Amino acid sequence: MKAVALTRHLPIDDPQSLVDLDLPLPAHGECDLRVRVEAVSVNPVDTKLRASGAAAEMAPRVLGFDAAGVVDAVGARVAAFTPGDRVYYAGDATRPGSNAQFQAVDARLVAPAPRTLDAAQAAALPLVSLTAWELLFERMPFDSEHGGGGRTLLVIGGAGGVGSMAIQLARRAGFRVIATASRPETAAWCRDLGAAEVVDHRQPLAAQLAAIGVNQLDAAVNLADTDRYWEVLGDLLAPQGHVGLIVEPRGPLPLGGTYKAKSIGIHWESMFTRSRAGTADLDEQGRILARVAELVDAGELRGIVREALVPINAANLREAHRRIEAGSSIGKLVLAGW
């Protein structure tokens, strides 16, 4: 099968940083699906995995998490899927990735793809939807249907992939969503997704929020820079408020002080926790993706693709990694077709 692999950890401008290869079809276990991959998307974690690590891999390593495609084969213990089903998923950090024509994936991590989206649009959703959903509705103490209750939520980094889904999910749950963005086009994107207000994260947040009548926040999700906004969020969050985080800090953070005095809840999210640890609730990710697909098909959530590159090959994946590393992406960038 065709695949795009990492053999050496190199800068993305090096043509050997990602290479086209032919690899054997993957074997699938009794709890797995083998999926014929039709489309993938690229996330910041892909670029980090490519850029870091030992100088060379012991064997070619296929990256990629998000995928949409068609079930090719099912394991003996899989009852929920049959060959020919259209599916989407974010995969497992411990197994070969989605940048290949075929991928073996645990069926519990998989859901039927939204009927109203093509493969490219569907492939944009899994990782960012799971991250936003788990952060808001599992790590933080809010119900996915009515948990907002008119509370004010700040989304730092609203125009990225996770931010694009967090805005939609939080608005649907009843939050007044304020997003941050730094350019006219990213601010417009956030408003189109349902943000009531948009402020510039390059400028002091407190003054901008005060100007729109917001003196304290019930909750915030910092999807961009944990260190930079730590102090100001401690000041802005209400007593017994909540902050959600997904980005590793660059250095130690003061957990006491304002955060302790206000009893602010600090909530970390990693979409890979369940698959890395093999938790008993691994199938929750399949259920979340099934619910997201229902909401998309009902018109309550929308797709977040800004651009699609065709086909899936090393040159286009290098270009996608280059754009992600530039740090100015809006929504999601996907690749489709072989």
The CA distances from residue 160 to 6, 81, 128, 177, in Å, are 25, 32, 9, 15
pLDDT at 94: 94
Phi and psi at 46, nearest 5°, equal -60, -45
**CATH fold match for the domains 2-127+272-336 and 140-268:** no
Helix (H) or strand (E) holding 239: strand 237-245
What is the C-alpha to C-alpha distance for residues 107 and 85, in angstroms, rounded to an integer? 12
pLDDT at 54: 62
What is the C-alpha to C-alpha distance for residues 250 and 264, in angstroms, rounded to an integer? 21
User: What single-letter amino acid sits at 242?
Assistant: H
Residue ranges covered by each domain of the chain: 2-127+272-336, 140-268
> Quick one: fold of 2-127+272-336?
Quinone Oxidoreductase; Chain A, domain 1 (3.90.180)
pLDDT at 51: 83
Q: At 121, is the secondary structure helix, strand, or coil?
A: helix
What is the C-alpha to C-alpha distance for residues 288 and 93, in angstroms, rounded to an integer? 18
User: What single-letter amino acid sits at 300?
Assistant: E
Tokens, residue 144 = 């996915």
pLDDT at 327: 84
Kindly report, residue by residue over 100-145, the tens digit of the pLDDT.
Answer: 999 999 999 999 999 999 999 999 999 999 999 999 999 999 999 9
Residue at token pair 């929308």: 302
pLDDT at 328: 80
Q: How many Cβ atoms from other residues are within 10 Å of residue 294's Cβ? A: 15
CATH (one of 3.30.530.20, 3.30.365.10, 3.40.50.720, 3.30.565.60) for 140-268: 3.40.50.720
Kindly report, residue by residue over 272-303, the tens digit of the pLDDT.
Answer: 999 999 999 999 999 999 999 999 999 999 99
* Residue segments in the chain with a per-residue pLDDT below the cut of 50: none
pLDDT at 55: 63
